[in-house]
Amino acid sequence: MADDVLAGYRVTRQPYYRPVADEVALFEAAYSVRMPMMLKGPTGCGKTRFVEYMAWKLSRPLITVACHEDMTASDLVGRFLLEASGTRWQDGPLALAARHGAICYLDEVVEARQDTTVVIHPLTDNRRVLPLEKKGELVRAHPDFQIVISYNPGYQSLMKDLKQSTKQRFGALDFGYPEHAVEAEIVAHETGVSAEVADKLVAIAERARNLKGHGLDEGLSTRMLIHAGSLIAQGVSPLAACGVALVRPITDDPDMRDALDAAVATFF
């Protein structure tokens, strides 16, 4: 059982998550052997929601870290703070999770510099330790601790990719956009629009996703459909709602914008 210091990180209400395949059972098996896990898939397809759901299901606190290029190892591990009575050590989110037994979720880990990801290595093999070199302490991970990372393969580039020596430390689950019916169910559930409207929004998304690599860098995410649905539920006309929530955010190109606007007009 984790300490009280993690109280703020408990997932107290069941997050809405609509399973797609056997990902829940596989994650449970992985957690049972505390295997580090990697969630792979495009932007906005539900990876973050999934890990919240699993944290709730496994009754484990969840500490989420949005990774970025300038995140230092200290941002993960901790640092000394200067106080009136001298310096005080403060655990970073990774040390906090390791010490007290949370699931630590590093979101978009490929954004972080490779040196930052190297810091997690000793926690991902049989040692399960985190050296706090600046403090001179070797934290042995709490038995409940697990590390989970997300990874968008579409982003990988020459400059930014996980090292093989990092990847091989993780089991991996593929995520994608849900099937039509499932996605429509999600959109309706989250926004309150009718099944018919949700169905149309998903159909628009599917058209746009076919343009990925043909003028669009990424497909329309489920999150964007929820945005559009919620505007419609507020009384905004479907055409205007799709313009604001689906088309304008995803492209600056006038031709692509007109093409997408036309696709929207086909359905509404």
* The one among 102, 173, 184, 259 contacting a copy of itself by CB under 8 A: 173
Tell the smallest beta-carbon distance from residue 43 to a copy of itself (Å): 4
For residues 202 and 220, which CB has a smaller minimum distance to a copy of itself in the complex? 220
**50 DSSP assignment:** H
By the rule CB under 8 A, 227 interacts with a copy of itself: yes
* Binding piece for a copy of itself, criterion CB under 8 A, among 98-106, 150-158, 177-185, 196-204: 150-158
CB 86 within 8 A of CB 127: no
**Residue 89 CB partners (closer than 8 Å, separation 6+):** 78, 79, 80, 81, 132, 135
Mark 204-234 as b/e (b = at least 16 C-beta within 10 Å).
Answer: bbebbeebeeeebebbbbbebbbbbbbbbee
* The one among 2, 17, 20, 38 contacting a copy of itself by CB under 8 A: 38
Q: What are phi and psi of 74, to 5 degrees?
A: -65, -35
By CB under 8 A, the residues from 73 to 102 that bind a copy of itself are: 73, 75, 79-87, 90-93, 96
By CB under 8 A, the residues from 97 to 126 that bind a copy of itself are: 107-108, 111, 113-116, 118-119, 121-122, 125-126
Rounded distance between C-alpha atoms, residue 115 and residue 46, angstroms: 27
Rounded distance between C-alpha atoms, residue 62 and residue 60, angstroms: 6
* Binding piece for a copy of itself, criterion CB under 8 A, among 177-185, 201-209, 238-246, 259-267: 238-246
* The one among 3, 14, 19, 22 contacting a copy of itself by CB under 8 A: 22
